[in-house]
Structure 1
């Protein structure tokens, strides 16, 4: 299923992006409504340390989430994402936030580039159904 991991960070939310390997390549996966699955984690200020990178260390203790079909938050804004946004935030320091401008984005078989301007204003719900793993 979704076993290719491409982490990237936005100003107020960390995204852990997985692409559906049944489509062979990331570039093909973004063309399908079930091509990507994203776990979104809200962040609030405080220090958190990273020693050996393990994505589960980025998850809060509570794993309750909202889920909905949507799009990428950066151009070309493909409608290919099944979003899972965790209810509980994690904490980060202002120094860690400042480092985000130095992050690099690497997608398999594509050139490495700086991760900049990777945000998008809130969009209308339209006919999307938002579900929750909790009541």
Structure 2
């Protein structure tokens, strides 16, 4: 199973990723099942501070396992600060994970509850851990029109991703990994406490994406989430009581 051939079907999905990506069996894999009563309140965790330039999005593209909205990250035009972070992290892209039906599809769970989808807003800092701000359960179908074929893309501009966040920015945070191969264990996760909502029609748009390229038999991307991984000896901290 090559890097380009992993996916979410039985033959190449999360259950077999460990065959090529050893990190899959690591000690700090993501996502996790968050248990709110076991999370430790940390009074030193600061409120999140983000400043996103609506002119910084560049394109929306179908990468075969999700659709990504990518941003100009050559400067600190759109960035995340504070929270559990010790420096500035630039916004690189955001994408979604979802399931085949509306009753599950989020990667993280909270007290056993599964959500229909999950938004990952990915930031980076050279030499530092990537940071993922994650809001469980998602809104609009966004500008998915025009990206129904793997490898296709369309211009995407004038958008502030903070419009996707819930009113409260209370969060849990822990050290984890990418949830897609190569599953590198280099992520500071920030999981927002409050979900946002999506309609069945909006979620159906996600499932209408194709994971197949032009000329190949049509294969709809009905599901693209990784199940929770063992917490092992990690601590989940909370910014709230």
TM over 0.5, shorter chain: yes
Which stretches of structure 1, 4 residues or longer, exceed 3 Å deviation after superposition? 47-52
Separation of aligned partners in 1, 2:134 and 2:186 = 15
Superposed displacement of residue 100, structure 1: 2.0
What is aligned with 2:193?
87
Separation of aligned partners in 2, 1:62 and 1:41 = 11
The root-mean-square deviation of aligned C-alpha atoms, in Å, is: 2.4
Number of corresponding residues: 111
What is aligned with 2:129?
35
Separation of aligned partners in 1, 2:168 and 2:239 = 11
2:124 is aligned, of 19, 24, 49, to 19
Separation of aligned partners in 1, 2:91 and 2:140 = 25
Larger strand share, 1 or 2: 1
Which runs of 5 or more residues in structure 2 are unaligned?
Answer: 1-87, 99-116, 144-157, 212-220
3-state SS, counterpart of residue 90 of structure 1:
coil
What is aligned with 2:167?
61
In the TM superposition, what whole-angstrom CA distance separates every residue of 1:113-132 from its partner, at most 9, and x where no partner exists?
A: xxx56421111111111000
TM, length-normalised to structure 2: 0.42
